[in-house]
Amino acid sequence: MPVLNAANQIILGKETEVRLAATCLLAGGHLLIEDLPGLGKTTLAHTLARLLGLHFSRIQFTADLLPADITGVSIFDRERSDFRFIQGPVFSQLVLADEINRATPKTQSALLEAMEEGQVSIEGETRALPSPFFVIATQNPSHQIGTFPLPESQLDRFLMRIELGYPGRDAERALLTSGGRRTRAEQLDSLLTPEQLPQLQREVADLYAAPPLIDYVQALVEASRHTSVFRHGLSPRAGLALLAAARAWAWLAGRDMVLPDDVQAVFPSVARHRLSSAQGGNQASSTDIDSLLKRVAIP
């Protein structure tokens, strides 16, 4: 897959994460990247936008960012004696919401509403967002100072959440010798035309999932509900997300059917931010997710 290869040239040593991010976009979902500052979150978002040939805008979330800064405002045009709507940065095909948890909940929800509905309502008028419409949000771990953690209901709107983590030894060495990657990302040529992506997405959505595989997805979702490890189980929306992501993962692997391996590969990224541990108030640990996978027999 040329897009993946090109992206791996920019984001070094993170093949799995890059593939997961691409999976998310192919499945038509929004992506949340959570990690410490400086690990390449923004670069990844940038790279994907460039490679997929999407119209891209970036919003740096800050504590004083207002909803109108995202959606846009109407200003009075004196020449035409009328209000003219100035579109905000949200009217792009790919929106990078950088450090989304630095903004207040009110501003966050303006973006999240747009993500869910595919449209924004401003001053009583509903305006459709471009299609395709993706949000890649990055977020610092919520124990960092000056953050407003996203509530569970809004986390659910992201199809996947991934973590980048520190680069490997070799990758870091290459990075240090050849310099940062941000400028290189901006110079990338797009590998897809704007018409190709929706078509790929349709192909992915039509990928065959056999009844035993759907049984497996169902069993996983049910198992998450019948354990006391998590406070709540996975929602039906999470089940849909799991299947969609598994399809995209299978498509990226070049298969025309979904295998349990695909489900297992995307499961942690799809499920973990939707589950909270019953003991602490925190998100479920990756061992909890792992043991959930190991409890469910493949039908």
Partner 1 sequence: MSTAHQENLARDVPPWLFVSALVTTLPHVTHLPLWLSVLSGTFFLWATWLWRQDRRQPKRWLLLLLVVGCCVGILSEFRSPFGRDPGVAMLVIFMAMKLLEMRSRRDAIVLLMLGYFLLLTHYFYSQSIFTGAWLLVALWLVTATLIRLHATAMSAKENMHYAGQLLLQSLPFMLVLYLLFPRISGPLWGMPQDAYSGKTGLSDSMSPGSIANLVQSGEIAFRVRFAGPVPQRHQLYWRGPVLESFDGTTWRQSMGRRRAETIQHTGDVTAYETTLEAHNQRWLLALDAPVSLPADAALDGRLSALAQKMVNTRQNFRISSALNYQLNTDESPGVLSHNLKLPPGNNPKTRAMAEEWRATLGNPQAIVNQALRWFSDPAFVYTLQPPLLGPNSIDDFLFQSKRGFCEHYATAFVVLMRSAGIPARVIGGYQGGEMNPRDGFLVVRQSEAHAWAEVWLEKRGWIRVDPTSVVAPDRITNGIVEALPSGEPLPIFMQMHGGWLRDMRHRWEAINNTWNQQVLGYDAKRQLELLSRLGLPEADWRNLVIALGIACGALLILIMLWALHNAKPEAPEIRLWRRALRKTGVDCAPWETPMALVERLQAKQPALIPQMEPVVRHFLLARYAPDNTEHLAALRAAVASLPRRRPD
* Cβ(172)–Cβ(67) below 8 Å: no
Q: Which is nearer to partner 1, 130 or 260 (CB)?
A: 260
Cis-peptide, bond into residue 299, ω within 30° of zero? no
Q: Which is nearer to partner 1, 176 or 297 (CB)?
A: 297
Q: Which is nearer to partner 1, 96 or 284 (CB)?
A: 284
**Footprint of partner 1 (CB under 8 A):** 208, 210, 212-213, 227-229, 256-261, 264, 291-298
Shortest Cβ distance from residue 239 to partner 1 (Å)?
Answer: 18
Classified as helix, coil or strand, 33 is strand
Structure tokens at 83: 């209000």
* DSSP-assigned letters across all residues of 125-189: EEEEPPSS-EEEEEE--TTSTT--PPPHHHHTTEEEEE---PPPHHHHHHHHHH--SHHHHHTPP
Shortest Cβ distance from residue 261 to partner 1 (Å)?
Answer: 5
Shortest Cβ distance from residue 196 to partner 1 (Å)?
Answer: 25
Shortest Cβ distance from residue 270 to partner 1 (Å)?
Answer: 17
The H or E element spanning position 89 is none
Q: Which is nearer to partner 1, 51 or 289 (CB)?
A: 289
Shortest Cβ distance from residue 262 to partner 1 (Å)?
Answer: 9
* DSSP-assigned letters across all residues of 47-79: HHHHHTT--EEEEE--TT--HHHHHEEEEEETT
Q: Which is nearer to partner 1, 4 or 229 (CB)?
A: 229
- Tell me 288's DSSP state: H
